[in-house]
């Protein structure tokens, strides 16, 4: 019970004791000034009480005592009862009654202590009053006994009622403090969720005023947070009015028109915070909560799920058509041996060419299953990046030296990377083939570079001076079955990403300028950043067993 309100009450009682001590001394000094006979002992008792009250106020105000009965209450309640008893005994004439001062220690015990302490203090005051009545004696002692008993009864009732009231206030304070903590927690969690929620959230009142909007909604709708809703949001306002009118959740696709921009399609869902008056507080009004989604993102997710399902089906189909394709290719080769007519030869060549293309497509589709199997079963090897990259570059150029021209720059030094050799070959060959397809006609239009990135890590980059990628293509660059060309399966970069992730590497695309002898040239750069190797280089084979 060392909370701030409890400490304030303790300090208030300590200050009241000082004020009572000052009042006692002032009354005694005033009586002497008016010519009344003063009692030195009485004046000394009042001065001692003032000194004790001031000392406790100065040195004991920082921490209240334990509420249970004990010696810790002697400097406060004990001193008060002792002083009042001394003052009552020293006041022989009986012209002044100090017994009402017992109310101060009783109130202090009832408010700051336990019920036992409060009742014990009331009992001590009652016993002192009865002892005072007995000590006075005389023939009229019965009224004094009766008065002491009635006063003691009042003390007990006062102690009990005040303690019950204090306990009730403390309980309500604890509930209020817990509610306040819960409200702060809920507010902090709600603010954190709202800040990081990828879906747009708007809160509108019945008048169409915006109460709250998270950053995703403002970025999606292109407006700053303001109490007024822009006129371009009219479809949202109409949907909010329908929600208030029908008192039912609503869902609709709307178009938002921005100035000098194309319409933006949004999927909006609305809910009311309260739908019945009994669920609301007296001063609370219902609010309309809107969840706003970009239709383009929704359609992209659906398209990705459909493509994934199509990919699984395509892999099964590709696996089933490989044997018929092999039979067609073999039969065409046998038939070609028997043909002599030039026209028939040309037709046989077309059959072989298209059959081989179907074989390549089916192999690309099946690469997804193969890569997943290799990811699950192949153990990474530690490779010297420069030497492996040089070997792959030489093998790649050897297939078509006249066309596969470029520059090789090896700056990784002795850097070691953890990567399977055949997987690295597949990643690098795929990137080189893509760069070759879109590069210009200059000898320096294609670059393969390696370099160290610090912290024991290394990277390789394939750069070509091709045209920049379209935004829509760049967004789905590493997705399966996505390609800007009709004759491509769209699996190459997806397989590269899967292999890189398997070995803890990262692959990314960026538009990058490069300084060449012919000037500053912009191009497309695909960068693979490897994680640092934890062991020495392995003498791994460059070829892997492909399992279907």
* Full DSSP string of 246-306: HTS-EEEEEEEPPTTS--EEEEEEEEES-SSGGGS-TT----EEEEEEEHHHHHHHHHHHH
| 38 backbone dihedrals φ, ψ, rounded to 5° | -95, 150
C-alpha to C-alpha distance for 298 and 211, rounded to whole angstroms: 26
Residue-level pLDDT at 379: 56
How many other CB atoms are there within 10 angstroms of residue 129's CB atom?
Answer: 23
How many other CB atoms are there within 10 angstroms of residue 194's CB atom?
Answer: 16
C-alpha distance from residue 175 to each of 55, 180, 543 (Å):
35, 8, 71
Question: 204 - beta bridge partners?
Answer: 210, 288
Instruction: Give me the residue label for tokens 């292999």.
Output: 499
Instruction: Give me the residue label for tokens 């997943």.
Output: 372
**CATH 3.30.450.20 for the 196-298 domain, yes or no:** yes
Torsion from C-alpha of 106, 107, 111, 116, nearest 10 degrees: 20
Q: Is 248 left (phi over 0), alpha (psi -120 to 50) or beta?
A: beta
Which helix (H) or strand (E) covers residue 434, if one does? helix 421-438
Residue-level pLDDT at 335: 85
The topology under which CATH files domain 378-529 is Heat Shock Protein 90 (3.30.565)
C-alpha to C-alpha distance for 498 and 375, rounded to whole angstroms: 8
Residue-level pLDDT at 157: 95
All structural domains of the chain with their residue ranges: 4-175, 196-298, 300-366, 378-529
Sign of CA dihedral 439, 444, 450, 451: negative
Evaluate whether 196-298 and 378-529 have a shared fold.
no
Residue-level pLDDT at 88: 83
Q: Is 482 left (phi over 0), alpha (psi -120 to 50) or beta?
A: beta
pLDDT in tens, the chain (548 residues): 456 778 888 999 999 999 999 998 898 888 778 777 667 888 888 899 999 999 999 998 888 888 889 999 999 999 999 998 888 888 755 567 788 899 999 999 999 999 999 999 999 999 998 988 888 776 677 888 898 899 999 999 999 999 999 999 888 888 888 888 888 888 888 788 777 787 888 888 888 888 888 888 887 776 554 545 566 678 888 899 899 988 889 999 888 776 555 667 888 999 998 765 554 455 578 899 999 888 777 776 776 676 666 666 666 766 677 778 888 888 888 888 888 888 888 888 888 888 877 776 676 666 655 555 555 455 557 888 899 999 999 999 988 888 888 999 998 888 888 888 888 888 899 899 888 888 888 888 899 999 988 766 899 999 999 888 877 677 777 776 656 554 555 677 877 887 888 778 889 888 988 888 888 889 999 999 987 665 554 443 333 333 33
Residue-level pLDDT at 368: 55
Instruction: Give me the residue label for tokens 């706003």.
Output: 292
Closest CA to 3 of 244, 128, 171, 213: 171
Residue-level pLDDT at 212: 84
Q: What is the CA radius of gyration of the chain?
A: 45
**CA 178 to chain centroid:** 23
Residue-level pLDDT at 2: 56
């Amino acid at each position: 019970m060392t909370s701030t309100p409890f400490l304030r009450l303790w300090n208030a009682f300590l200050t009241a004791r000082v004020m009572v001590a000052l009042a006692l001394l002032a009354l005694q000094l005033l009586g002497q000034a008016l010519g009344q006979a003063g009692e030195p002992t009485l004046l000394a008792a009042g001065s001692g009480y003032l000194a004790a009250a001031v000392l406790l106020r100065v040195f004991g105000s920082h921490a209240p005592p334990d509420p249970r009965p004990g010696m810790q209450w002697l400097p406060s309640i004990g001193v008060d009862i002792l002083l009042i008893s001394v003052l009552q005994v020293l006041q022989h004439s009986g012209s002044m009654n100090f017994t009402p001062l017992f109310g101060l220690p009783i109130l202090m015990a009832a408010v700051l202590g336990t019920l036992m302490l409060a009742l014990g203090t009331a009992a001590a005051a009652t016993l002192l009053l009865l002892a005072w009545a007995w000590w006075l004696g005389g023939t009229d002692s019965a009224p004094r006994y009766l008065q002491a008993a009635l006063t003691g009864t009042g003390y007990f009732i006062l102690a009990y009622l005040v303690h019950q009231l204090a306990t009730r206030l403390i309980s309500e304070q604890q509930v209020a403090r817990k509610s306040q903590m819960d409200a702060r927690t809920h507010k902090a969690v709600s603010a954190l969720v709202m800040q990081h929620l990828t879906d747009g959230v708007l809160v509108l009142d019945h008048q169409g005023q915006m109460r709250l909007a998270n950053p995703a909604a403002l970025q999606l709708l292109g407006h700053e947070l303001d109490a007024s809703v822009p006129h371009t949001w009219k479809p949202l306002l109409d949907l909010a009015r329908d929600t208030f009118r029908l008192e039912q959740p609503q869902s609709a696709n709307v178009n938002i028109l921005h100035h000098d921009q194309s319409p933006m399609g949004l999927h909006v869902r609305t809910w009311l915070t309260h739908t019945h008056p009994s669920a609301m507080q007296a001063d609370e009004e219902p609010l309309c909560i809107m969840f706003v989604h970009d239709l383009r993102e929704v359609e992209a997710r659906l398209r990705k799920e459909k493509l994934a399902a199509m990919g699984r089906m395509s892999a099964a189909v590709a696996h089933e058509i490989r044997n018929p394709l092999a039979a067609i290719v073999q039969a065409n080769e046998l038939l070609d041996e028997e043909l002599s007519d030039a026209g028939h030869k040309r037709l046989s060549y077309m059959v072989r060419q298209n059959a081989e293309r179907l074989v390549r497509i089916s192999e690309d589709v099946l690469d997804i299953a193969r890569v997943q199997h290799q990811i699950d079963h192949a153990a990474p090897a530690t490779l010297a990046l420069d030497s492996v990259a040089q070997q792959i570059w030489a093998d790649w150029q050897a297939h078509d030296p006249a066309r596969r021209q470029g520059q090789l720059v090896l700056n990784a030094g002795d850097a070691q990377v953890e990567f399977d050799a055949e997987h690295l070959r597949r990643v690098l060959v795929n990137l080189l083939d893509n760069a070759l397809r879109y590069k210009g006609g200059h000898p320096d239009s294609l670059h393969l570079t390696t370099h160290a990135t610090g912290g024991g890590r290394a990277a390789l980059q394939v750069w070509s001076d091709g045209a920049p990628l379209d935004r829509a293509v760049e967004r789905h660059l590493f997705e399966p079955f996505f390609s800007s060309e009709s004759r491509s399966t769209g699996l190459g970069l997806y397989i590269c990403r899967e292999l890189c992730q398997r070995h803890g590497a990262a692959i990314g695309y960026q538009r990058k300028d490069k300084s060449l002898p012919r000037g500053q040239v912009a191009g497309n750069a695909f960068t693979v950043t490897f994680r640092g190797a934890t062991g020495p280089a392995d003498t791994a084979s460059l070829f892997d067993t492909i399992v279907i």
